Amino acid sequence: MSEQKSLYETIGGLDKIDELVDRFYDLMALEDTLSELRTMHPLDLSGSREKLKFFLTGWMGGPDIYSPKYGHPMLRARHLPFKIGIKERNQWLACMYQALEDCGIDGKIADQLHESFLNTADWMRNQPN
Other CB atoms closer than 10 Å to residue 107's CB: what's the count? Answer: 7
Domain that holds residue 15: 9-124
Other CB atoms closer than 10 Å to residue 120's CB: what's the count? Answer: 15
The per-residue pLDDT string of the chain (129 residues; one tens digit each, 9 = 90 and over) reads 557 899 999 999 999 999 999 999 999 989 888 888 999 999 999 999 999 999 999 999 999 999 999 999 999 999 989 999 999 999 999 999 999 999 999 999 999 999 999 999 999 999 988
What is the rounded CA–CA span in Å between residue 71 and residue 69?
A: 6
Q: Is the CB of residue 128 less than 8 Å from the CB of residue 85? A: yes
Residue 119 lies in a domain: yes
pTM over 0.85: yes
Residue 43 lies in a domain: yes
Residue 104 lies in a domain: yes
What is the rounded CA–CA span in Å between residue 41 and residue 62?
A: 26
CA pseudo-torsion sign 48, 93, 100, 118: positive
Q: How far separated are the first and last CA of the chain, in Å rounded? A: 48
CATH of the domain at 119: 1.10.490.10
